[in-house]
Structures are given as C-alpha cells and as structure tokens.
Amino acid sequence: MSASLTDPFGRHISYLRVSVTDRCDFRCVYCMAENMNFLPRQDLLTLEELDRVCSAFITRGVKKIRLTGGEPLVRKGIMTLVESLSRHLQSGALEELTLTTNGSQLQKYVKDLVRHGVKRINVSVDTLDPDKFKAITRWGDLAKVQDGIKAAQDAGLAIKINAVALKGVNDAEIPAMIRWAHGQQMDLTLIETMPLGDIDGDRTDQYLPLSQVRASLLDQFTFADIPYKTGGPARYVAVKETGGRLGFITPLTHNFCESCNRVRLTCTGTLYMCLGQEDAADLRAPLRASEGDELLQQAISEAISRKPKGHDFIIDRAHNKPAVARHMSVTGG
Ligand code: SAM
C-alpha cells in the first residue's frame, strides 16, 4: 500500500511527531506535575518498532519527522533510531528529521545528530533568568542548556527557541528573549499554554493570550507578516529592529486546525490524530501481529480517515480543567 494519506477534510498528512519517551529530566510547571506516573517500560515500542512505524508513514508520503517527548534525548539508545531513520534522508524519501529538546543533553549528542543528517532543532527555553528557569523547570539548569545551545550552533545546527508565554512569569522578559535569540541567529517562537493534563497549579493563572503579547511588543518592535513556514503551526513575522524571525503558536487565540498536516505517535504506539482530542488509534497491536506491514498500513489508513476537524481548547475560569487528560509529554509537543 503506498497511497498517500489524506484525511476527510482534504488535508494531506505529511508530518509525523513521535514522542519517543514520556519521561523527562525536567518538570516544567505548565507541562507536568512534580510527581508523575510514567508509562511502564514494557509498554514502550522498541527503537526497532518505532523505526518500523516511522518507515510505514514515510512510505505513505510523510516528509517530516520530529522526535519529541518527554525529553527525546533521555530515551536510552535514541541515536540508534536517529541513525536508522537517516537512511530515509539519504534516499530522499524523507525531507527532514528533527527534534524538540529541552537542551539538557545536547552537548553529549550534538555531533551524532549532525552526522545523521539533522539540520535544525527546536530548543525550549522559557526564561533567561537562571533562578526563574529553575522555578519553571523545577529540575533544570539554564547554564547547561546554554552550553548545549552553543555546542549545537558550533556544530552547524540551526536552532529555533520555543518559549511558552506565562503570565506574570516571563511576559516582561519577552523583548529581551527576542533580542537574545535574534542576536545569535536563532528564530524564536512563542507558544500559548494549552490545557493538556493535570498539573499542580491552575492554568488560568498561567494563560497569557499571545494576541495581548503581540500588541504589547509593538511598543518596541516593528513586525512584518512573512509567508515563512517550517511545516508546523507557527505564523511568523520579521522583526525590523533585530532582523530575526518571531513565530506565534496560538492554539487558543487563533486556531490553526484548518491547515493541520500532522499526526502524533506516542512511545507505546498510540496514534493521536489531534493534539486536543481524545480519539486515538492503536498501532502497536497491528504492528506486532505480523512481520509484514499490511495490518499496520490498514490501521494507519483507518486512523487518518477519523482525523477530526480540530480541537476545542478553551482556558477561562469556567473551563479550568484540562481539555484532554493526557500530558503534552505523552502526546509529544
Ligand atoms: N522535552 C522537550 C522540550 O522541552 O522541548 C520536548 C517535549 S516538550 C512537551 C515540547 C514543547 O511543549 C516544549 O516547548 C514545552 O514548553 C511545550 N509544552 C509542554 N506543555 C505545554 C502546554 N501545556 N502548553 C503549551 N506548551 C507546552
């Protein structure tokens, strides 16, 4: 079976995000509770199985794969998967293999990533203040992340910084983060907090609409809308004062579902057709049921035929429960 993947709304699925582990060495306050119950290790797909599912998607026209998590670089043996997937870059079937990371392990892996054909990565940094960084991530060390970023740049990787906009936490710092990222030739993308999974606090307190942030940034910066696209949901502007690019991911203030080209695979082989809906398809059973990929391909086709039109995220005082129970670390950010 090699027909490409088109959903009931005519959207072509060309982008697979793979959460290779739900574990993480940080505990960001908006993402996880401090004490998390992680998936039992025996439920995880092996690295070979992850490769098989990714390859099945590539056969069906997926051109971009992003490894994420949890923290993708804490999955044991992760470079084996990166190396095996790189054969699809070499053949030209896959256009981009990339990852989203918190940067804590970058120094260790950056050379291998480059060797296996990774060209760009996203690194999540919500603040440049070391104490605040510790408070947001609970367990993280900003200096280590900055060393990782430097190592990645020295090795020639292009970097995009992702920052979640958090009310009363990093909002005053956003102009400085724009100058910092652009000063080092990195794009910066701001993300709205999404109501995914129970956390220790209340999301209504953290939620900061990016429409508001954008308006307040206009006091200091001049923005020009640009058509730049990376295959993801961010909309970009060029910032005249810095010469850099600033992205906005606005699932709440401006829903981007109409152009959604993505599906998400968890480390246990569950496929989520939408980040913000509960419906999912199990790919692990068909994967393990036979050595050939026929059952797996059927399950993928069936899943894509159920991709929903969009999500229904709302955060306000009347809706302060998560839209979906699973954390971002399960589905993969
Ligand atoms: N550990 C990696 C990292 O830190 O980038 C990859 C996984 S993390 C879940 C991916 C991205 O999702 C990060 O940029 C993180 O800040 C973001 N994220 C996590 N929970 C979120 C939420 N509830 N709303 C918005 N973004 C969230």
The predicted structure's pLDDT at residue 310: 86
Q: Please report how many Cα atoms fall inside a 13 Å half-sphere around the Cα of residue 198, on the Cβ side.
A: 4
What is the pTM (predicted TM-score) of this model? 0.94
The predicted structure's pLDDT at residue 286: 98
As for ligand 1, residues whose beta carbon falls within 6 Å of it are 24, 28, 30-31, 68-69, 71, 100-102, 124, 162, 164, 191, 193-194, 196, 328-329, 333
pLDDT in tens, 82-122: 999 999 999 999 999 999 999 999 999 999 999 999 999 99
The predicted structure's pLDDT at residue 199: 78
The predicted structure's pLDDT at residue 42: 86
Atom 1, ligand 1: residue with shortest CA distance: 71
The predicted structure's pLDDT at residue 316: 62
Query: Across-strand partners of 270?
Result: 282
List the chain residues with pLDDT less than 50. none
Q: What is the distance in A from the centroid of ligand 1 to the CA of 272?
A: 16
In this structure, what token pair is assigned to residue 224? 């020009």
What one-character-per-residue DSSP string does 27-88 give?
--TTT--SS--PPPGGGSPPHHHHHHHHHHHHHTT--EEEEESS-GGGSTTHHHHHHHHHHH
Q: What is the distance in A from the centroid of ligand 1 to the CA of 26?
A: 11
Look up residue 223 and give its DSSP letter: E
> Ligand 1, residues 31, 265, 314: which to mutate, most atoms within 8 A of Cβ?
31
What's the alpha-carbon Rg for the chain, to the nearest Å? 19
The predicted structure's pLDDT at residue 203: 72
pLDDT in tens, 284-300: 999 999 999 999 999 99
Q: What is the atom index within ligand 1 of the atom nearest the CA of 333?
A: 10
- Token match 């724009």: residue? 178
